[in-house]
Amino acid sequence: MSDEPALLKLLHKLESRSPLDDGDRTAILDLPHVRRSHEASAYVLRAKDRVRDRCGFVLSGLAFRQKLAAGGARQIVSLHMVGDFLDLQHLFLDRADHSVQALSRIEIVEIDRAALQDMALRRPAVGRALWIEALVEASILREWVLNVGRRDARGRIAHLLCELWVRMEAAGMEVRGGYRLPLTQEQIGDAVGLTSVHVNRTFRLLAEEGLITRDRRTVRSNDLEGLRSAAAFCPLYLHLGEAGAI
Amino acid sequence: MSDEPALLKLLHKLESRSPLDDGDRTAILDLPHVRRSHEASAYVLRAKDRVRDRCGFVLSGLAFRQKLAAGGARQIVSLHMVGDFLDLQHLFLDRADHSVQALSRIEIVEIDRAALQDMALRRPAVGRALWIEALVEASILREWVLNVGRRDARGRIAHLLCELWVRMEAAGMEVRGGYRLPLTQEQIGDAVGLTSVHVNRTFRLLAEEGLITRDRRTVRSNDLEGLRSAAAFCPLYLHLGEAGAI
DNA sequence: CGACTCGTTGAGTGATATCAAACCCGGTGG
DNA sequence: CCACCGGGTTTGATATCACTCAACGAGTCG
């Protein structure tokens, strides 16, 4: 339970994106850092604040990014899990343009921001890995714009479920025919631009179609193909196959 | 009309994001490059293609990024103008997750991709500037998710108009009480997740409210404050004040 | 002048929101 | 062990925003 494993996880993640040499590896493992955890719904970062001098990397649990519209409407703009960076999006920006919040209890490593900036700019292999991380996140944002802008309720939710399915698998989480989704229906609505009531009805619809089954907060599917086609899900945008150089 | 000015424009853009030294400047001006132009609606890059080995930087004209949903519905996920990079989003990714298309006739400089990657990874000051560019673009994407997910038609269009207003001014384009918006109403709809018919009605509504006036494809406003408040526009997400380090 | 694309408008429909109530379940305290 | 409480879920009834379909008008290009 030392914090050695924490940086190892970070190392593995980066290495999966770009080949590193020994210098890179030891530099990563030498990064000044602190382990922390947040309770569900705790803020990791608040919109409009000055960006913190530590950068979080998720070790376990889920988190999300959030923006508020006038009138208090909320939009969740991304979801994050093991192996995701929480502050890469602000690595070189000084004002937070959105909030980051824990969804469930999460554990993170906080890395010194200046040190991470330095790695990004002065260690090409690490820099490449970080670039890829940031670019993939932007790609997911584009898919979310499409999701919210051009799919109906059924497609939106099906797509969200497919995306999480694939991302969780890729992140090495336990996904065997289903997974735990610790979002309330209201939060799901905030992620896909719907009302909690309509999310509920749409879940029922998907269940009636035999595409999913639900129990508490776990979602399962015996018909993943059906779900994918309901979502018109194409995982290219997750850039999973690419290690940066093919 | 040599292409000297092209790289100078690029240089100025980068310098506005991060202070550069002489070595950076000459490296930028030495970048292998080609000047090109595209006719309106020409593709600069197609989704699912292998990413090209040149990176475009806009000198004049407008371009947009686009994704298709099943059934042919289209979503425009971003708009670009002078001083924007067209391929930064794929700088370290190998498959295009979206298409890039010219909106009006555009002029671009195409920079050798490997050379730009190299600058990003090996010239810290330039790398920082490129990071900021990419991160701001992601920030705009988050705002678009919010726009499409949580604002009504009036708010969405007002917000788009405000964003373009501010970005065009910041890019040094001529904006004096109004600007030319070379999008068809259908394209505007594709950008904000509405039908062209509804875009039309909403424009009329905004005009009736005295928030805008239209003539052909130019939009003007005598009541920018009113328009901003209709959009609940807060320009923080454009990160214009920040040079990267405050 | 005809053909086309884009903008405008009307009428009818449909998807999603809103409001409100009941229910379910886990947690807490008597 | 039961009663209660509170957040989340489920369901119904109704309202509304935005979509669809369809026609017409206006500008542009050959």
Token pair listed for B234: 């807060």
Give the nucleotide at minimum CA-to-C1' distance from B201. Answer: C8
Q: How confident is the model at residue A161 (pLDDT cuts 50, 70, 90)?
A: very high
Reduced to 3 states (helix: H, G, I; strand: E, B; else coil), residue B179 is: strand
Across the interface, do B242 and A93 touch by the CB < 8 Å criterion?
Answer: yes
Query: Is the pLDDT at B245 greater than 80, yes or no?
Result: no
Q: What is the mean pLDDT of residues B64-90?
A: 96
Q: How confident is the model at residue A230 (pLDDT cuts 50, 70, 90)?
A: very high
Phi, psi of A86 (to 5 degrees): -95, -20
Kindly determine whether the C-beta of residue B214 is less than 7 Å away from any atom of nucleic acid strand C.
yes
- Rounded Cα distance between A51 and A48, Å, is 8
Inter-residue contact A49 to A94 (CB < 8 Å): no
Provide, as residue numbers in chain A, all residues whose Cβ is less than 8 Å from the Cβ of B122. 124
Shortest CA distance to A106 belongs to which of A6, A2, A13, A217?
A6
Question: Which range scores top for mean pLDDT: A2-6, A189-193, B240-244?
Answer: A189-193
Q: In this complex, which residue's CA is closest to the C1' atom of nucleotide D19?
A: B195
Identity at B245, one-letter amino acid code: A
Query: Is the pLDDT at B165 greater than 90, yes or no?
Result: yes
Q: What is the mean pLDDT of residues A118-127?
A: 97
CB atoms within 10 A of CB A95: 17
Query: Is the pLDDT at B198 greater than 80, yes or no?
Result: yes
pLDDT above 90 coverage of chain B, percent: 91
Look at the block and give the residue holding tokens 């990563």: A28
Nearest CA in chain A to B159: A69
Shortest CA distance to A128 belongs to which of B64, B119, B204, B197?
B119
Q: What share of chain B is helix, strand, coil (3-state, %, to 5)?
A: 45, 20, 30
Interval B127-145: pLDDT, tens: 999 999 999 999 999 999 9
pLDDT computed for residue A62 by the predictor: 96
Q: Which of A3-17, A85-99, B137-151 has the lowest mean pLDDT?
A: A3-17
Average pLDDT value for chain A: 94
Across the interface, do A75 and B150 touch by the CB < 8 Å criterion?
Answer: yes
Interval B18-53: pLDDT, tens: 999 999 999 999 999 999 999 999 999 999 999 999
Q: What is the mean pLDDT of residues B172-184?
A: 92
Nucleotides of D under 7 A from a protein CB: 7-13, 17-22
Q: What is the mean pLDDT of residues B182-209?
A: 96
Across the interface, do A146 and B77 touch by the CB < 8 Å criterion?
Answer: yes
Q: What is the mean pLDDT of residues B4-19?
A: 91
Inter-residue contact A112 to A54 (CB < 8 Å): yes
Kindly determine whether the C-beta of residue B73 is less than 7 Å away from any atom of nucleic acid strand C.
no
Query: Is the pLDDT at A44 greater than 50, yes or no?
Result: yes
Provide, as residue numbers in chain A, all residues whose Cβ is less than 8 Å from the Cβ of B237. 97-98
Q: How confident is the model at residue A242 (pLDDT cuts 50, 70, 90)?
A: low
Q: How confident is the model at residue B4 (pLDDT cuts 50, 70, 90)?
A: low
Look at the block and give the residue holding tokens 């919210």: A148
Across the interface, do B142 and A141 touch by the CB < 8 Å criterion?
Answer: yes
Provide, as residue numbers in chain B, all residues whose Cβ is less than 8 Å from the Cβ of A154. none
Across the interface, do A148 and B143 touch by the CB < 8 Å criterion?
Answer: no
